[in-house]
Structure formats: structure tokens, C-alpha cells
Amino acid sequence: MWKYDPVLFSRVLTELTLTFHIIYATIGVGVPLMIAIAQWVGIRKNDEHYILLARRWTRGFVVTVAVGVVTGTAIGLQLSLLWPNFMQLAGQVISLPLFMETFAFFLEAIFLGIYLYTWDRFENQKKHLLLLIPVAIGSSASAMFITMVNAFMNTPQGFELKNGVITNIEPLVAMFNPATPTKVAHVLATAYMTCAFVLASIAAWHLMRGNRHIYHKKALYLTMKTALIFSLASALVGDLSGKFLAEYQPEKLAAAEWHFETSTHAPLVLFGMLDENNNIKNALIIPNALSILAHNHPAAEVKGLNEFPKEETPPLYIHYLFDLMVTLGVFLTVVAAVYWLGKIFKWKFVAKKWFFGLLVASGPLSMLAIEAGWYLAEVGRQPWILRGYMKTAEAATSSAHVDTMLILFSILYLILGIASAAVLINMFRKNPVERELAERSGQQEVMAE
């Protein structure tokens, strides 16, 4: 018999909202930085192409911001609507960064409004660029504050829980919990990386289709170089995240790595399958690598999953999420490095159609890695919502109708997703670069006369 389970539906609805929101949120965090870089380069080199690049990215950006804002509002409310027990408990300790996030968002919203409508109001372009700084700071700070809340869910501290009553609350200690540094750094670096790849995809798309306008070449070079820098940063932070997990959330690392017995010289398991007795088959095994990832030493001891009570360990399929995230991350870093080296040493194949095709795929693949990473982070924390204090099942609402709301929001996200993509495609197809460049140079000639 089918039975209505509000916990299950609350989880699915939250997953759905986050899966959708994270796409727009990532764009919201990374693209302002990319716009700032392009505008800065444009001013420095006095190159109209980069200025136009910044202008066009901005126009696309506002469409994604709108969806980010409305889905962000949705998840903000859903936290209380779907997880009232969790918010009642955690709200007492971790509401400070949530509250500060609204200020960061406020700042971003105000200055984005100003930035958008003042392109031609300033004689000095640098003044206009200055307006973008609060936007970039606001959006990155938003991401930081929200990630602090998520970090707190993984390694809660800054309070004492006695008989269901919370005492000795220290809001700053809760904010700066052990998971905060690596998580915040990882979220920001990967957001910048992903946005660089997404924008590179667009330029590569035009080049692949045979449009060899210098505008697209400049765009591709700028975005790929940025992508390479942030890919390397992400890899570095990813390594630190491994060390953080080994220290503070060993069960998450062990489950992601299918590392069952505590051992020294622990190997890193990639891909593969598990049989019914949890024996690993067909996997790629790299000796000592897990010990290095966890403790920077090939002989170091890594805690195995069997050390933990079975009902307190995450599901083992997170291994595949980990593999997906890492494989994509490494692959994209290599692609960016090959492109960059190819440009320096003038390798012919980096201007071949198939290589552009690869670059077109880089944006979507990077976004996929973001999704896999968040699923790994969230599913890897199960069964806890607040690790060690509250299980997900205890936190959910007992309301009826969560299933109906799931349908309602599925339809909403479907419409928003299709509509935002259609609007973006339409917007740029109606107004191709060549035409806009011609119009702008025409305008300038008129002004010069």
C-alpha cells in the first residue's frame, strides 16, 4: 500500500529546490566577478570588445538573477515550512549568518539595480565599474554566509544541548565552525570556475559553428584563463576538504571512499561496484592515495566505516557522486591547461572544431560537478540534519499536502527553467555581436563628429 510520508516528500522537495536553485545561485556568485574582469580589461586596454562582453554578460546575468532571487526566496521559506523542528532548534544558534546574508543580498540588489541603469551615465568608465564591486562582494558574501549555515549542519558547535534545551550559545563560534573554511573556499572557488567555463562554452559555441570573429576569440581566451586559475584553486581546496573530512567527519569520507576497515596505507578507490558483502569489484585502486588525501602522508591511518554504528552512516552510493565530482574536476582542469598551453605553443588542434566542441561541453559539465558536489555534501551528512544532534527524520514537518506542493513546485521550476533558457537564447539571437558592434561604432562616430 502507498503511504504518505511527509519526511520523504520534504526531502525530495528540498532536493528539487536546491538542485534547481544551485544552478542560478552559482551563476549569481561567479558571473559578477567575470563581468568585472572583462570590464576592467576593457578599460585597461581601451578595447571595445571587452566592454561589450561585460555589457552582454550583464544583460544575460539579470535574467538568471531573477530566477536565482525567486528560487532563493523559495528555499528560504521552505527551510521553515518543511523543516520547522530543525529551524526551531538551529535558529537559536545559527540565525546570525542567515540574517547577515539578507544584508549582503540587499547590498547586491541595490547596486545591481544601479549598475544596470547607469552604463552611459558616467564620463569615466571606472566609476561605473566601481558600482560593480558591491555587487560582486554582496553575491560572494551571500554565498559565504549561507555556506556557513551548511557548514554548521555538518560540524555544529557553539552551544550545549541538555535535555532538549539549548544553552551557552556563542553565535560567532557557531559561525566559524571547523567546516567553514574549507566549505566556503570550495563553494566560492568552484562557483568562479564554473561561471568561467559556462561563459567559455558560449564563446566556444560560436567558434565551433564557424564564426571566427575576434570578439569570440578574446572572450574564449579570457574565460579559459580564468577557468584554469580557479580550477587549480578548486583542486587545492578540494584536497584540504579531504583533510577536513578525515579529521571532523570521517564517516563521510569513509563512505565516499568505500573505506570499510581502519588501516594505514589506505588506497583510493575510484569507480567500481559493491557486491552484497560490500566487496569492491572492478574498481581502479590507487595505493596510498587515500592516506595522502586524508593526512598528507602515504602511511597515515584512515578511519574505516566499520568504526561507526550502522544507523549513523550515510548511504554508500555517495561514492559515485564523489567520483563524478572529482573526475569532472580533474578533466576540466586538464582541458583548461591544454587550451592554455596550446595557445602559448601554438598547437593547431586547440582551434579545431572537435576541441571547441569539448569546450562547449565544459560549462554544462562543470555545472554537473557542482550538482554532484552538493548531493555528496548533503546525502553524505545523512542520517543527520544537524550532525550528532538531530536526525533528518525528526526535523521534518508533519503537514499534509507536501506531496501536492512537490507537484506544484516541479511545474514551477520546469516553467522557469524553460522560460529563462528561451529568453536568454532569444535575447542574444535577436541581437548578435556583429550587429551590436556595428551599431556601437556607428554611435561613436556620430559622437566624435
Residues 386-405 that bind another protein (CB under 8 A): 397-399, 401-402, 404-405
Q: Does 99 bind another protein (CB under 8 A)?
A: yes
Q: Does 269 bind another protein (CB under 8 A)?
A: no
Minimum CB distance to another protein smaller for 289 or for 405: 405
- Minimum Å gap between C-beta 88 and another protein is 4
Instruction: Kindly tell me which residue out of 19, 88, 278, 444 binds another protein, with binding defined by CB under 8 A.
Output: 88
Instruction: Kindly tell me which residue out of 19, 44, 45, 80 binds another protein, with binding defined by CB under 8 A.
Output: 80
- Cβ distance 342 to 349 under 8 Å? yes
Would you call the peptide bond into 383 cis, given omega within 30 degrees of 0 as the criterion? yes
* CA atoms of 51 and 221, how far apart (whole Å): 15
- Minimum Å gap between C-beta 148 and another protein is 13
Cβ neighbors of 324 (< 8 A, separation 6 or more) are 368, 369, 372
* CA atoms of 127 and 130, how far apart (whole Å): 5
* CA atoms of 149 and 378, how far apart (whole Å): 13
Burial per residue of 159-169, b for 16 or more beta-carbon CB atoms within 10 angstroms, e otherwise:
bebeeeeeeee
Residue type present at position 403: D
Q: Does 76 bind another protein (CB under 8 A)?
A: yes
Instruction: Kindly tell me which residue out of 271, 340, 389, 409 binds another protein, with binding defined by CB under 8 A.
Output: 409
Helix (H) or strand (E) holding 384: strand 384-386
Minimum CB distance to another protein smaller for 172 or for 214: 172
DSSP label at residue 348: G
3-state secondary structure of 369: helix
Q: Does 342 bind another protein (CB under 8 A)?
A: no
* Contact region with another protein (CB under 8 A), list: 68-76, 211-219, 358-366, 436-444: 68-76
Query: How many chain residues bind another protein (CB under 8 A)?
Result: 74
Helix extents (H) in 83-210:
84-116, 125-154, 171-175, 180-208
> N- to C-terminal Cα distance for the chain?
80
Residues 22-61 that bind another protein (CB under 8 A): 59
Q: Does 279 bind another protein (CB under 8 A)?
A: no
Q: Does 408 bind another protein (CB under 8 A)?
A: yes
- Minimum Å gap between C-beta 184 and another protein is 18
Tell me the angle at which helices 214-248 and 353-379 cross, rounded to the nearest 10 degrees.
Answer: 30
Closest CA to 354 of 334, 344, 339: 339
- Minimum Å gap between C-beta 73 and another protein is 6
Cα–Cα distances in Å, from 420 out to 88, 204, 405?
Answer: 35, 21, 22
Query: Vertex 274, ends 268 and 275: CA angle to 5°?
Result: 145
- Minimum Å gap between C-beta 424 and another protein is 7
* Contact region with another protein (CB under 8 A), list: 182-190, 289-297, 320-328, 406-414: 406-414
Cα–Cα distances in Å, from 8 out to 72, 82, 91, 398?
Answer: 22, 11, 23, 11
* CA atoms of 445 and 449, how far apart (whole Å): 6
Instruction: Kindly tell me which residue out of 44, 45, 91, 441 binds another protein, with binding defined by CB under 8 A.
Output: 91
Cα–Cα distances in Å, from 372 out to 1, 180, 196?
Answer: 33, 20, 18
Instruction: Kindly tell me which residue out of 36, 43, 87, 393 binds another protein, with binding defined by CB under 8 A.
Output: 87
Share in percent of the chain as helix, strand, coil (round to 5): 75, 5, 20
Minimum CB distance to another protein smaller for 54 or for 358: 54
* Contact region with another protein (CB under 8 A), list: 74-82, 180-188, 192-200, 300-308: 74-82
Q: Does 229 bind another protein (CB under 8 A)?
A: no
Q: Show the binding pattern over residues 283-322: x = contacts another protein (CB under 8 A), - = does not.
A: ----------------------------------------
Pairing of strands 280-281, 284-286: unpaired
Q: Does 420 bind another protein (CB under 8 A)?
A: yes
3-state secondary structure of 274: strand
* CA atoms of 392 and 236, how far apart (whole Å): 31
Instruction: Kindly tell me which residue out of 36, 92, 271, 342 binds another protein, with binding defined by CB under 8 A.
Output: 92
Q: Does 414 bind another protein (CB under 8 A)?
A: no
Q: Does 100 bind another protein (CB under 8 A)?
A: yes
Residues 146-205 that bind another protein (CB under 8 A): 166-167, 169-172
Instruction: Kindly tell me which residue out of 114, 232, 337, 368 binds another protein, with binding defined by CB under 8 A.
Output: 114
- Minimum Å gap between C-beta 285 and another protein is 46
Minimum CB distance to another protein smaller for 83 or for 258: 83
Q: Does 98 bind another protein (CB under 8 A)?
A: yes
- Minimum Å gap between C-beta 32 and another protein is 14
* Contact region with another protein (CB under 8 A), list: 46-54, 110-118, 244-252, 310-318: 110-118
Q: Does 110 bind another protein (CB under 8 A)?
A: yes
